[in-house]
Amino acid sequence: GIQVEQSPPDLILQEGANSTLRCNFSDSVNNLQWFHQNPWGQLINLFYIPSGTKQNGRLSATTVATERYSLLYISSSQTTDSGVYFCAVDPGTASKLTFGTGTRLQVTL
Amino acid sequence: GAGVSQTPSNKVTEKGKYVELRCDPISGHTALYWYRQSLGQGPEFLIYFQGTGAADDSGLPNDRFFAVRPEGSVSTLKIQRTERGDSAVYLCASSLGGTTEAFFGQGTRLTVV
């Protein structure tokens, strides 16, 4: 099946700093989603982005489908950004998402 | 409803008992998915329904696990003869179908003692 790798595995930032999270995948995809899992375990949708660039407030994402990677940018980080960020992909032949191992982000004051 | 709803939020059961976990998807979503998340891991696929039928159950770990969606809306994940290794958070998601955006419920934390 498709392989999904995320980097870095862990990230500690001071409030106000910017960061870039990366997701590499091993095959072409029809669906790619970024999620934020908050400390209570809820998976919150950030972006549905099988290709192209999207922005939502302080967050933006870019997927370069031909090169099989996606990037999530967090600007001016806040303590509420803490949690685990997951990238999940669906190659389109499976109609199910395969998740990466996540990036655990901690934003400190 | 406004989002995917899962009940109960927490379930503690004794080894060997039977449990049922419920998922109420977003209204109008024809696709429904069950995932399982162990501590420190990403969610792992269990089963996918399109309408009433299980289109893909390749992720179910063994025949103790079974899921139904009799009317194409609410789904129930059923686990027989629970084992301590079944302890995890069980997540349900729904989407409009195909490769469209999936939305997750808050999960059911199952603890087998």
B25 Cβ under 8 Å from any chain A Cβ: no
B100 Cβ under 8 Å from any chain A Cβ: yes
Report yes or no: A74 and A21 within 8 Å, Cβ to Cβ: yes
Of B55, B100, B104, the CB nearest to A43: B104
Of B31, B102, B106, the CB nearest to A42: B106
The pLDDT mean for chain B works out to 95
Residue B56 has a pLDDT of: 93
- Is residue B44 within a helix (H) or strand (E), and if so which, with residue range? strand B44-50
B102 Cβ under 8 Å from any chain A Cβ: yes
A7 vs chain B: nearest CA distance in angstroms? Answer: 14
The values of phi and psi at residue A40, to 5°, are -90, 0
Q: What is the DSSP letter of B42?
A: -
Residue A91 has a pLDDT of: 84
Report yes or no: B84 and B15 within 8 Å, Cβ to Cβ: yes
pLDDT tens for chain A, 109 residues long, are 899 999 999 999 999 999 999 999 999 999 999 999 998 899 999 999 999 999 999 999 999 999 999 999 999 999 999 999 999 999 877 678 999 999 999 999 9
Report the C-alpha gap between B37 and B47 in whole angstroms: 14
* Confidence label for B2 from pLDDT (cuts 50, 70 and 90): confident
Report the C-alpha gap between B68 and A12 in whole angstroms: 42
B98 Cβ under 8 Å from any chain A Cβ: yes
Cβ atoms within 10 Å, residue B38? 12
Point out the least confidently predicted range of A10-19, A89-98, B1-10, B51-60. Answer: A89-98
Task: Examine the pLDDT at B1 and tell me if it is beyond 60.
Answer: no
Chain centre distance of CA B52:
15
Residue B6 has a pLDDT of: 98
B103 Cβ under 8 Å from any chain A Cβ: yes
Classify B84 as helix, strand or coil.
helix
Would you call B104 and A48 a contact, using CB atoms and an 8 Å cutoff?
Answer: no
Would you call A41 and B109 a contact, using CB atoms and an 8 Å cutoff?
Answer: yes
**For residue range B75-108, what is the model confidence (pLDDT) as tens digits?**
999 999 999 999 999 999 999 987 789 999 999 9
CA atoms within a 13 Å half-sphere pointing along the CA-CB vector of B99: 17
Residue B15 has a pLDDT of: 98
Question: DSSP letters along A43-100, please?
Answer: EEEEEE-SSEEEEETTEEEEEEGGGTEEEEEE-S--GGG-EEEEEEEE-SSS-S-EE-
Residue A94 has a pLDDT of: 67
Q: Read off the pLDDT of each residue in B31-35 and give the average, rounded to a whole number.
A: 96
Would you call A95 and B99 a contact, using CB atoms and an 8 Å cutoff?
Answer: yes
